[in-house]
Chain A
Amino acid sequence: MTAVETPQAPRRATEHRPERAARREPPRWLAWLKRQKLASYVILLVFAVLYIGPLLMLVSTAFKTLPEFFRNPTGMPESLRFENFTEAWNEAQFARYLVNSVVYTTVATAVCVVTSVLVAFPIARGYLKGGRYILLLYVIALFLPPALIPQFQLILNLGLFNTRAGYILLFLVNPIGIIILVNYIKAIPRELDESAAIDGCGYYRFVFKIIVPLIRPAIATVTVLHAIGLWNELVLAIIYLTNDDLYPVTRGLIAFEGLYGSNWPPMAAAVLILMMPMVVLFLFLQRYIVSGLTAGAVKG
């Protein structure tokens, strides 16, 4: 219907106010630019340099010796030396940090996703009285004040400060994940529930054997969203973990920076080591990662 109306609307406007028609015309230089795809490429390439530049600097620094770096920070490395990588790996306990990060991320994400499905399913189906208000409580969460300080007092008083359990406890809920799951489950036909119930399938079995496989894309999205946020978390790791043995990679990296200061070559190697898995994962799971990181946004 709008397709029919829109061509008329501007015409009427131009009859009454001719000066607006003039304003609709693009500036001439802009019109010229638009005709050339060339302009698009130039703009994109300029930005590409801004995006690649810092990464290139990182890679080239990781292959330099310290004197070489001080002599010429910006230039290319003289040869491909891998000592920095081994030094970074051995000096800081990155193997341990990685194990920690993997433990935190998998445990917390698994618990979060499983409990989220169990919250989202009955709400989406309307199987609970007041389910709508529960959902509302999850939506409102996005507009509540930060929980930082009382959360700290809670963990402190539970005696879980500076423990793995305490740190994991911080990452077990994800309101956006619930909202994504509820919306997805709503699209699955209810007849499925009916026939399963008639066949005598129990609730538990129905959710995990029938619903979970059907909502796999939503689960992937929530998993990726939650796992990335957790893997990259720095501030909570700084606040809650003071013991070097418990650090995740982000915190370990900042600790390494504190020790190594301006000794950039091993620093750069360390950053690269920790960055590579993320980049590789991103290249493979791009679809889920992009949808995960924007899904919550587009809904709002």
Chain B
Amino acid sequence: MIHRSYLFARGWRSATPVLLLLPGFLLYLVMAVGPSLATAVYSFTDATGIRGIAVNWIGFENYDEFLLRGAASRDNIAALRRTVYFCFFVTVIQFGIGLVFAVLLNQKIRGKKFFRTLFFMPVILGVAIQGLIWKLFLLPRGGPAAEFFQLFGWTSELLGGQPRQAFAWVIVVQIWANAGITMVIFLAGMQTIPNELYEAARIDGAGKWQLFRNVTWPLLTPAVNTNLLLNIIGSLQAWQLFLVLIGYRPGTQVLGYLVFAEGFGQTSGSVASAFRQGYAAAASIALFILVLVFALVTHAWLSHREKRYIG
């Protein structure tokens, strides 16, 4: 168990590192890896959330019901499509805004620290506080956002409006909450770009746009990759702001929320209710496969692009 290179006391005491490692490692196996793999197993059963009820193997029935033949399968497919929309809009806009923040705050500018702090702050607040803050801000009658839109003669129920509108507002809040991380990763990437490159390019007569296009952007590739992957994976799995902002409303559900609602009830868990955890496990495997496919395709595309840029 112990490698030859181990330097400390030999004999029975050489078991110390293994003994000390075991608690953490076993916890990891039991609480994380095991349950992770077991999700696939559960997806083939009719498990409920009740203790002591027999669990039966039912094969692909959950998947069949979820995607093909169940009464809700059409809604489930719609939720799947919505998850992709959510991912698309959040990723594109958050990536863009994060990049703009980083570019603007990477120059010599007054209040740089203030802006960075401000834009990053929502990240640390957590969904409960993020959601409640925006629920108040988006108050349909007389709230600041409603008042603002009133100026253009547009009245709206905002979060309480059409499903599509409520959905769009969740996208806004999701971006507000997380653009700070994107910004910080871009800023970290920009700080690794050596100044000499800019000077050399400037001597060659490059303008600001050319500096960005030909120096910053190509050399920012690692940060671009990280941000894209993080945003895509994160937004495909995100659903908690839906819970806080609008609840389980038809026409707005995404896959992650569906898993929670089927497995544990729609808004708050209650003991020993007959929730369908096998079915929910199948839904979460579906989501997992979606994330995996998106991540792999993006990764392949990014490494192709990286080869073109850096070679």
Contact = CB atoms under 8 A, between A and B. Distances in A.
Indicate whether A and B interact: yes
Interface of A: 3, 6-7, 10, 24, 26, 30-31, 34-35, 37, 40-41, 43-44, 47-48, 50-55, 57-58, 61, 72-74, 115-116, 118-119, 121-122, 125-129, 131, 134, 137-138, 141, 143-154, 156-157, 161-162, 169-170, 172-173, 175, 193-194, 197, 201-204, 206-207, 228, 231-235, 238-240, 242, 249-251, 253-254, 257-258, 264, 267-268, 271, 274-275, 278-279, 282-283, 286, 289-290, 293-294, 297-298, 300
A150 B9 contact: no
A151 B35 contact: yes
A37 B109 contact: yes
B281 A149 contact: yes
Interface in B20-43: 20-21, 23-25, 27-28, 30-42
Contacts of B246: none
Interface residue tally on B, bucketed by range: 35 or more
Contacts of B137: 53-54, 57-58
Contacts of A250: 126-129
B263 A149 contact: yes
A40 B109 contact: yes
Contact of B208 (A34, A47, A239): A34
B209 A150 contact: no
Contact of B127 (A125, A134, A234): A234
Contacts of A50: 176
A26 B136 contact: no
Contacts of A169: 31
B202 to A, nearest CB: 12
Given A73-B142, A144-B33, A298-B188, A119 B21 contact: yes
22 contacts: A24-B213, A26-B207, A26-B210, A34-B209, A57-B143, A122-B18, A126-B3, A128-B2, A131-B3, A137-B28, A141-B33, A146-B36, A146-B287, A147-B34, A149-B47, A150-B281, A156-B51, A207-B20, A264-B139, A278-B124, A278-B125, A293-B124
Nearest to B296: A143
A94 to B, nearest CB: 13
B143 A283 contact: no
Contact of A151 (B24, B31, B223): B31
Given A73-B139, A289-B124, A193 B7 contact: yes
Contacts of B84: none
B271 A127 contact: no
B24 A116 contact: yes
Interface in B245-276: 259-260, 263-264, 267-271
B68 interface: no
Contacts of B128: 232, 234, 249-251, 253-254
Given A54-B133, A172-B27, A297-B230, A141 B42 contact: no
A92 to B, nearest CB: 13
Contacts of B280: 149
Given A3-B196, A290-B184, A294-B185, A275 B125 contact: yes
Contact of B136 (A126, A240, A267, A275): A267
Given A57-B143, A264-B136, A294-B185, A134 B124 contact: no
Contact of B24 (A26, A115, A148, A267): A115
Given A30-B209, A145-B288, A228-B124, A153 B3 contact: no
A57 to B, nearest CB: 5
B244 to A, nearest CB: 7
Interface stretch (B69-77, B99-107, B151-159): B99-107
A149 B44 CA distance: 13
B122 A51 contact: yes
A170 B31 CA distance: 7
A149 B17 contact: no
B104 A149 contact: no
Most chain A Cβ neighbours within 10 Å, of B6, B13, B100, B229: B6
A40 B104 contact: yes
Contacts of B25: 119, 134
Contacts of B5: 125-127
Nearest to B142: A73
